[in-house]
Amino acid sequence: MIKIHQNYPLKNSNSFGLESDANIFIEADDLGELITALKNSNIDLSNPLFLGTGSNIILSRPNIGTVIHATNRDVTILEESRDSVLIKCGAGKDWDEFVEWTVSRGYGGLENLSLIPGSVGAAPIQNIGAYGAEVALCVESVLAVDLSKLHQFTLSKEDCHFGYRDSQFKRSESSLWLVWEVIFQLEKDPRVNLTYKPLKEAFPENHRPDIREVREEVIKIRRSKLPDPAEIGNAGSFFKNPVLSACQAGLIRENYPDMPIYYHDPGTVKVPAGWLIEACGWKGFREDKVGVFPRQALVLVNYGGAEARDILDLAEKIVQSVKSTFGIKLEMEVRIV
């Protein structure tokens, strides 16, 4: 089914709660109908916004143009072996609902990514990650639609070119690719991932938790640190954790020996952006309608009535502060539209 709305308000469609409107807002749960509708219309597809739950964007303009919102939520088991299962999921499915679906059936691989806001379709675009895991580890392939040609195609895991909070879908040449379905390969005899030290320390030393216990602990940790967008406007983690050479990190730790570092790739380490921001004194900062969340310095919040410019101005002040103190340039994780 296709629904096409005109002059559609987007305030309730983005987790920062920013005011904006779409000239055309399309809801679609059937790919064939969507392609047919677009072929037989004069809808402007030169710069569309593909909107899931709006949990990782800043709407910086009062008018967005054309917005396409996938509402296909079906979950289908495609293939099973003794050790693994292939599962197809529609892009419109709520991400955490899908994770709960997999965990409740004993399929492992996504439990560390519990409670991350967003839709299934957004997961491979951002290559979402948390607590030592990334969705790229479980993606088998992605079905997408090229709106410049209105035809569908499949990308293998390798074609997606996954990186840290990155994928082929974020490249300029892929700007008209709409993710429609994602196929995941999950384990039927799961090996839990406790590489993230605080998660490992949450369990007794001699206890090997199952994926249900890992999911519940991840949810507990996230709820203790992160604000609910339904209560305070936010987009979760606002900045990426910077990746430094081991040499650069070592030089910084000569002056800041308590700076945490985590192995990334050979010769490189990750530094928690939240630690850098907190070390610069921004945690809990508030300036009128915007601020830094008191329990997690990585989260910028809209206390009500803020505009995109207010949030971006605060973000720039934080970037400059961290740069001045540590010589590290923070990159935003959220997307500015």
Active site residues: 165, 237, 333
Q: What is the dihedral of CA 41, 46, 51, 55, to 10 degrees?
A: -160
- Which residue, among 177, 182, 181, has the nearest Cα to 145 in the 3D structure? 177
Q: What angle do CA 103, 216, 123 make, to 5 degrees?
A: 60
**CA–CA gap between residue 332 and residue 115 (Å, rounded):** 21
Retrieve residue 55's tokens. Answer: 């949990």
User: Would you say 129 and 88 are in contact if contact means Cβ atoms under 8 Å apart?
Assistant: no
- Which residue, among 56, 71, 59, has the nearest Cα to 22 in the 3D structure? 59
- Which residue, among 321, 128, 90, has the nearest Cα to 222 in the 3D structure? 128
In sequence order, the 6+-apart residues with CB closer than 8 A to the CB of 24 are 4, 5, 6, 8, 43, 44, 65, 66, 67
Helix, strand or coil, per DSSP, at residue 26: strand
DSSP one-letter string for 303-327: -SS--HHHHHHHHHHHHHHHHHHHS
Retrieve residue 126's tokens. Answer: 């951002």
